[in-house]
Amino acid sequence: MNNQSEKFLYERNINKNYDFNMWFVFPGPEAFALSSLGYLWLYRAIDMMEDVNIERVYSDSKTTHIMRDKVDLIGFSFTFDMDFLHIFSFLEKNKLHFKSCERSDADPLIFAGGPVVTSNPEPYKNIFDFLVIGDGEDLNLDVVRFCVENKNLTKAQKLQQLSKMNGIYVPKISDKVVKVTKKLSECIYTPIISENAFFKNTFILEVERGCANRCGFCLASYMNMPIRFVDYEKIIETIDLGLKHTNKIALLGAQITAHPDFNKICKYVGDKIKNGENIEMGISSLRVDSFTPEIVQTLVDAGQKNLTLAIEAGSERLRRVINKHLSEDQIFKAIDVARACGLHGLKFYGMIGLPTETWEDIEEIVNLSRRIKSKYKSFDISFGFSTFVPKANTPFQWFGREDEKELEKKSNYLRKELHKLGIQSVISSAKWDYWQALLSRGDENLTDFIIEVYTQGGKLGAFKKSAKLLGLNTDYYVTQNYLYDKILPWDFIETMPGKEFLIKECQRLINL
């Protein structure tokens, strides 16, 4: 519903003639939803449908305007593994059974889409009536259109029909699903600007999707193959639209600097700033090997105070293994550029526990930091680390995680040694990452487990307790290496580049 703090960038028809009601649920707080490009863009598209009344619902929504018994369809945007906790909380609050087989024909159809279920829907297949696999912009609209036009069919009839659509997975009906990959024919953006958003009053636009670097662990790259770019003209048009409403813009994409016209886009915004326009521009990530003075200067002039460089691993050997071809020389050159452009520090991002990693690779992170510190005495660097989580449909999906104690030893060592060098580091919790890995390589046997975790309160201890209660061998999912010929729970999804390629790529990388 309209809210004083929200500015809509499209014409809304609030006097629609509808008899179809939908809740579109973001399983997280409102502030995050209002900074979620995919969620807001879909909301806009459905909101513009003449015959549908759609309401946004968040984990912190106090109430809803559409009454529960009037809802025909509920869609969830599923972005992070742990979102399932908010999803259950929402279902419970609205007196809806968690398992689809326990809900009746009178209950609305419930579905989910987003990166979690596109990568591996199996742990959730018994929860949702159907799942959207792939790029959702057009697919979700087709689904909603179908449900509106076939409102009078029974649930079973609807699901039977939906299962025939490309990219729709109806558990127990579909045996194979083709992931949908969309051409970026338009530039998607946040159609609502709000001061309640996590990125306050910021206009976010997508300039490209995917990353051609194909790091062996990276879901963002493999799930979005091939890399696709939005046309320069469309980006400029969209930037101009955003600047009519706010002075804060953010460009989104996993490998923005690969856009063939990225320099031109920066120059377009840079010229406006030079002409006195007060614009703040940020970008989601910058690769160290495309860290050019022009780009960094534009970002600094546009108010970007911190830049993060993902180096992933400390040693060149391990960077080669993960397919990140980045030399130490390039890292030093990037720091030179950052300093010349007036930045006082940089944040590095890395990963611990990568396949083939040894203590020497960990030691190399400290050595590299020492060399940076001795060359650039007054330049601040800090580190953010996460631990390796194997993701479905990536070359490293066959690798289990390292033992938790070893990962904690490595984390403590890095924290201590970097601290001695005056470098701050933030390291993700190996314990939480363990459970994330369980979900990302999970199968349908996890249904009762995730329900139990929710029932037990959803905190860290609830995971361990639930696994014990149900006698679940969690190491099977998390730490075991799998053989290449093992049938994986998500193999039924047809997606680029295909299992054969992933096997070859995995073999190539670990033999480097």
Q: Of 46-54, 112-120, 123-131, 211-219, which part binds ligand SF4 (CB under 6 A)?
A: 211-219
**Which CB, 214 or 401, lies closer to ligand SF4?**
214
Of 221, 387, 440, 447, the one binding ligand SF4 (CB under 6 A) is: 221
Under rule CB under 6 A, residue 310 binds ligand SF4: yes
Shortest distance, CB of residue 218 to ligand SF4, whole angstroms?
3
- Under the criterion CB under 6 A, does residue 220 sit at the interface with ligand SF4? yes
Spell 217-230 as b/e; 16+ CB within 10 A means b. bbbbbbbbbebbbb
Q: Which stretch binds ligand SF4 (CB under 6 A): 11-19, 212-220, 381-389, 449-457?
A: 212-220
Adjacent-strand bridge partners of 282:
250
- Closer by beta carbon to ligand SF4, 158 or else 214: 214
Q: Which two tokens stand for residue 169?
A: 């997975």
Strands laid side by side in the 345-352 sheet: 308-312, 345-352, 380-387, 424-427
- Tell me which long-range contacts 410-417 makes (C-beta under 8 A, separation of at least 24): 410/352, 410/353, 410/359, 410/362, 411/352, 411/385, 411/387, 413/362, 414/352, 414/362, 414/365, 414/366, 414/383, 414/385, 417/366
405's enclosing H/E stretch is: helix 404-420
CB of 210 to ligand SF4, least distance (A): 8
Measure the CA–CA gap between 394 and 499, rounded to whole angstroms.
9
274 phi, psi to nearest 5 deg: -60, -30
| Burial environment of residue 209 by CB neighbours within 10 A (0 to 12, 13 to 18, 19 or more) | buried
Site string for ligand SF4, 261-300 (x = CB under 6 A): --------------------------x-------------
The DSSP bridge pattern shows strands 308-312 and 345-352 to be parallel
When binding is defined by CB under 6 A, the residue of 36, 53, 59, 213 that contacts ligand SF4 is: 213
215 near ligand SF4 (CB under 6 A)? yes
Helix (H) or strand (E) holding 203: strand 202-206
Q: How many residues bind ligand SF4 (CB under 6 A)?
A: 12
| Residue 211 near ligand SF4 by CB under 6 A | yes
Window of 50-58, 179-187, 207-215, 467-475 that interacts with ligand SF4 by CB under 6 A = 207-215
**Interatomic CA distance for residues 67 and 182, integer angstroms:** 34
| Strand pairing category for 424-427 and 380-387 | parallel
- Minimum CB separation of residue 505 from ligand SF4 in Å reads 12
Least distance from ligand SF4 to the Cβ atom of residue 504, Å: 17
Binding mask 315-344 toward ligand SF4 (x if CB under 6 A, else -) reads ---------x--------------------
Report the nearest approach of ligand SF4 to the CB of residue 473 (Å): 30
255 forms part of the interface with ligand SF4 (CB under 6 A): yes
- Interface stretch with ligand SF4, choices 97-105, 218-226, 385-393, 411-419 (CB under 6 A): 218-226
Instruction: Give residue 260's Cα distance to chain centre.
Output: 24
444/477 Cα distance (integer angstroms):
12
Binding segment for ligand SF4 (CB under 6 A), chosen from 52-60, 217-225, 288-296, 330-338, is 217-225
Binding mask 225-254 for ligand SF4 (x = CB under 6 A): -----------------------------x
The Cα 418–Cα 319 span in angstroms is 20
Nearer to ligand SF4, 131 or 218 (CB): 218
Nearest Cα residue to 351 out of 252, 257, 217: 217
Which residues here bind ligand SF4, judged by CB under 6 A? Answer: 211, 213-215, 218, 220-221, 254-255, 287, 310, 324
